Amino acid sequence: MIIDTGNTAFMLLCSSLVMLMTPGLAFFYGGLVGRKNVLAIMIQSFVSMGWTTVLWWAFGFSLCFSGDLKSGTDFFGILGNFNWVFLRGITLDTPSLINPSIPMIVFCAYQMMFAIITPALITGAFANRVTFKAYMLFLTGWLTLVYFPFVHMVWGGGIMASWGVLDFAGGIVVHNIAGIAALASVLYVGRRKVPDSGPHSIPLVALGTGMLWFGWYGFNAGSEFRVDSVTAVAFLNTDLAASFAAIAWLCIDWMTTKRPKFLGLLTGAVAGLATITPAAGYVSPATACLIGIVAGVVCFYAVALKNKLRWDDALDVWGVHGVGGFLGIVLCGIFATTLFNPAGVDGLLRGNTHFFLVQLGAVLLSSIWAFLFTYGMLWIIDRITTVKVDEAGELEGLDMAIHGEAAYVESI
């Protein structure tokens, strides 16, 4: 194997950027909850950095990327095999699957960062009301039964890849399945008995948003797995969509509440980032602007619908990531063009109805799978250990009730 040092260095940088997104998510969520639950929500992101890494090394990477449907070496195109458990057989000379000039160990590290943040996204939905023991079981089960299968099906040579599904950086694999899992979690766990005081620190939310936005360049541009013009387009599209979505959300929020809300601007940016993710390397910059506007508007009204239906999705994971991921996959099916990625395909607007239908079918399937497996998993976990915190724990706050720590110690 001849290593391309430029591409390899770029992918190591992108891996670091994606890693930074999980602490960014912790700050984002931490600022959105009340003072008594800051550490409880933040630890759920940080513990994923540890435990997901263990699972990824042990069997996750192998289930995602070893074997494929075409050669008949995986499990029915849904999961890979166990050839690479504990990363056995992967040496310094093993080339990566996407780009042979990059070592497999770099590809493994990059994909691991995606595995870390995806289940952490879900935690915002059931903030302030899930026990830590149940969360650890949930983290393990959800990665194994939902995340790993979809990575293999879409990116690992599985059944969705054989259909022609395109997901540049994780519209299905990350955002849609996490957002739909969030909705299933909310409906299973139920509403909080003790109302939360709301965002205790919007500056923390802003810090988290900045870290997420910065890291997202590695998330999207890095998914080209080399440095070329498509990498640059994905980078630019990421920023354009986030910016247009932020302004769109701000404007609608301003018209609705009669005040320009900083929190709305920040939430809109994240909605734009989530929505452009599956299409970042397949559409033009002009389309990215349009996707950003659509994301800002549609996700704003998805959150409004959630509030009207009284779903206690505490931090709007479904409305931002579930709806955003769904939108992004469908819009990719409409606007994809080989003019900006010769290795991609043309979408509905360029006469490819089949590709649009494939994208739509895939994201509908992923939504159903994620909902049913998540709901069922929580039911099973509840038979093993209590999922929902009791009212006394909610009243005290999970920081002290579960972890025995306080984010803010009052001075005497």
Say if residue 365 is exposed, middle or buried (CB neighbours under 10 Å; 0-12, 13-18, 19+).
middle
CA distance 298 to 333: 17
Half-sphere exposure of 263 (CA within 13 A, CB side): 15
Question: Phi and psi at residue 388, in whole multiples of 5°?
Answer: -95, 135
CA atoms within 13 A on the CB side of 90: 23
Residues of the chain scoring pLDDT < 70: 411-412
What does the DSSP 8-state code read for residue 225?
A: S
Is 371 within 8 Å of 383 (Cβ atoms)? no
For 51-79, write each residue's pLDDT tens digit: 999 999 999 999 999 999 999 999 999 99
d(CA 198, CA 130): 18
Per-residue pLDDT reduced to its tens digit, 275-302: 999 999 999 999 999 999 999 999 999 9
User: Which DSSP string do the residues of 301-346 spell out, in sequence order?
Assistant: HHHHHHHHTT---TT-HIIIIIHHHHHHHHHHHHH--TTT-TTS--
Using a cut of 0.95, tell me whether the model's pTM lies above it: yes
Count the neighbouring beta carbons within 10 Å of the beta carbon of residue 343: 11
Amino acid found at 216? W
pLDDT at 196: 82
Give the whole-angstrom CA distance, residue 69 versus residue 271: 33
Domain segments of the chain: what residues? 5-401
CA distances from 235 to 105, 208, 253, 281 (A): 24, 20, 27, 8
Which pLDDT value is given to residue 411?
55
Which class is domain 5-401?
mainly alpha
Q: Comparing C-alpha atoms, which of 235, 237, 255, 234 is closest to residue 245?
A: 237
